[in-house]
Amino acid sequence: MQKKNTESKKVTKPQAYFLLFFGIAFVIGGFAITEDADAVILFVAGAVLSTFAVIWGVKYNDIQHTIINLVRNMIMPILIIFSVGVMIGTWIVSGTIPIMVYYGIQIISPSLFYFLACLLCAIMALIMGSSWATISTIGIAFMGMAAGLGLSDVITAGAVASGALFGDKCSPMSDSPNVATAVAKTNLFQGCIHNMKTFGPALAVCMVFYLVMGFTQQSTGDGRDSEAYQLIIDNLSTIFDLNPLMLLPPVVAIVMIVLKKPILPTFAASTALAAILAMIFQGASLSELGGIMMNGYTEATDIPVIDDILLRGGMSSFLGIAAILISACVFGAPLRCSGVIDVLLELIHHTSKTAKSMAVKVVGMCTTFFVITGGYDLTYAALGPMLPDLFDKYHLHRKNLSRILSDCTISLSPMIPWGAMGAFYAGTLGVSNLDFFFYAPFTWLSTLFCLIYAATGFNMAKVTDEQIKEEEAALN
């Protein structure tokens, strides 16, 4: 009796290329002609790609199983963004964000504001090992301060994102370099140091950019002389009881993150403390707190600059982002299980004559796959294990692969609205994903440096067969 073949069928090469380019074109076109329909575009694109894949022989059960697995991987990011929404709401009603804005705009010079926002976020992310936590704490405080000083919210968001990304990607405490070096099969600290060769120049350019922007804007007038500044100073101190105890929630969050406590309990502890402070000092009731945790702070003052600072937060403000993340799983599933990745890897194997051409193609493939899926963890998991042997073949050190994985995924993440990080950055900072391209040059500069290094061989560490064996032995 013939045994039934249960192996999942893959599409042909032309079909794989069609799925890849059609999916990209569908999403880009959909985003261009619709407004606030990102989740729907991704969902429909995934349905269309799944239809093609099934017609060409891919089992629907395989696609469904892949969707379920991808959504399972998204559960933690969704829980985190919900927790951030709840935490922001309680930080506002407790007076935490108001006091950070109130004193911050009085201390920080407007001309140095963007520069310091980038620098302090970079330092904070290096210490905490998390861009998410950095943006959720001092990042939102800088956004409030920008309003008080009459400075650009999009440039501030870019500075916060650039600094947070740099610190996250160079910190050995961050999850992304840990995962990147693990799948690349190289040493963590070697990988973090090697990352500096692209991230360092990218951050330096950003710092100069933010200094120029700060002094250029400052030349048109001091932010402290603006009407908005005086309105914030007068009204925040009237609406809230501002005392140093209001700074305890972010302090608790930062300490717990530095101590490497899990992120959800950390945000929960900070939220609980903010809620207690809100009841004691601001007179909030349990009923009011519940509404704010769900819908954000909603007590409008009819003063636009004040409302821009206060009317935010709540779990419901991130429901749309959760829909985008789930829809992204529907979009990525047919591409992942139909063999598109295998076709791309085979193309690299057969067309690369030199180490430079191989590295350039790996940069292109990692970038393309990340842009499609929006998930750096999915890109690492799908491509990472298949590439270390390829780098060994061309005698390139595997830490080059680790750096490429970081440069082509995490750095670009704020610009990808259907990715967990892109959705989080835009939702928390209150700007569009496209704004990061113009005002957070770090997002694409590190990728550009990565491509230049790959094409020229500059800063691409070489390795001998003996060194490959030694590193393998050290890792085992």
What is the reported pLDDT for 221?
46
Q: How does the average pLDDT of the chain come out, rounded?
A: 85
User: What's the pTM?
Assistant: 0.75
pLDDT of residue 372: 78
Which backbone phi and psi does 387 adopt, to 5 degrees? -105, -25
**pLDDT recorded at residue 448:** 94
- Segment 270-288 shows an average pLDDT of 95
pLDDT at 220: 44
pLDDT at 233 over 50: yes
225 pLDDT above the threshold of 90: no
The mean-pLDDT minimum among 65-69, 143-147, 401-405 falls in 143-147
Is the confidence at residue 98, as pLDDT, over 50?
yes
Q: Tens digit of pLDDT for each residue in 167-224?
A: 888 887 677 787 788 778 888 788 888 989 999 999 999 999 999 998 887 544 455 6
pLDDT at 474: 67
At 462, phi and psi to the nearest 5?
-95, 165
Average of per-residue pLDDT across 244-266: 86
Taking the C-alpha atoms of residue 140 and residue 406, their distance in angstroms, rounded to an integer, is 25
What's the pLDDT tens digit per position in 361-377? 999 988 988 887 777 77
| pLDDT value at 380 more than 90 | no
- Residue 271 pLDDT greater than 80, yes or no: yes
| Distance separating the N- and C-terminal Cα atoms of the chain | 44
Smallest CA-to-CA distance from 177 within 332, 384, 344, 364 is with 384
Is pLDDT of 295 > 90? Answer: yes
- Mean pLDDT for 105-134 is 85
Q: What is the pLDDT of residue 1?
A: 43
Residue 74 has pLDDT above 80, yes or no: no
| pLDDT-derived band at 476, boundaries 50, 70, 90 | low
| Segments making up each domain of the chain, as ranges | 74-317
- Mean pLDDT lowest among 5-19, 149-163, 409-423: 5-19
What pLDDT is attached to residue 118? 94
Predicted local confidence at residue 439, as pLDDT: 92
For residue 151, count CB atoms less than 10 angstroms from its CB and return exposed for 0-12, middle for 13-18, buried for 19 or more: buried
* Over residues 450-468, mean pLDDT: 89
Q: What angle do CA 159, 379, 14 make, to 5 degrees?
A: 125
What confidence category does residue 8 fall into, taking pLDDT thresholds of 50, 70 and 90? low
pLDDT for residue 4 is more than 70:
no
Given a cut of 70, whether residue 381 has pLDDT beyond it is no
